[in-house]
């Protein structure tokens, strides 16, 4: 039998034996945020024919986030260029954002 194939099978099966615990605060490395004049600007490069939804949470750090859909950023269709949306928030807001593709949902 092919040794690399056996090793790959063992690694795949070993990885399937446990459920990974999601991070408390997932990070969306493909988006950038900036705060100015009472609004958070969220920007990312959207791939063509891909949909995106931005989620937000206002819970303090150290608490499991309660992710909610940002109404103006639900099922946005990408066109291969940069997308920028704005969200009005107070300067002292604890709001954080999560960008997901397609039908992905926060945990």
- Residue 74 corresponds to which tokens in the numbers above? 């639900």
The per-residue pLDDT for range 35-93, each reduced to its tens digit, is 999 999 999 999 999 999 999 999 988 888 999 999 999 999 999 999 999 999 998 88
The CA-based dihedral angle spanning residues 37, 41, 81, 32, taken in that order and rounded to the nearest 10 degrees: 130
- Residue 67: phi and psi, rounded to 5, are -70, 130
Distance, in Å, from the CA atom of 61 to the CA atom of 5, rounded to the nearest integer, reads 44
The answer to whether the pTM exceeds 0.75 is no
Beta bridge partners of 57: 96
The answer to whether 53 and 8 are in contact (CB under 8 A) is: no
């Amino acid at each position: 039998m092919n040794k690399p194939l056996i090793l790959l099978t063992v690694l795949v099966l070993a990885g399937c034996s446990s459920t990974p615990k999601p991070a408390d605060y997932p990070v969306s490395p493909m988006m950038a945020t900036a705060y100015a004049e009472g609004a958070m600007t969220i920007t990312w490069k959207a791939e063509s024919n891909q949909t995106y939804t931005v989620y937000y949470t206002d819970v303090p750090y150290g608490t499991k986030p309660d992710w909610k859909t940002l109404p103006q950023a639900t099922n946005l269709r990408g066109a291969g260029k940069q997308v920028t949306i704005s969200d009005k928030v107070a300067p002292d807001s604890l709001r954080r954002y999560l960008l997901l593709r397609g039908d992905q949902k926060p945990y």
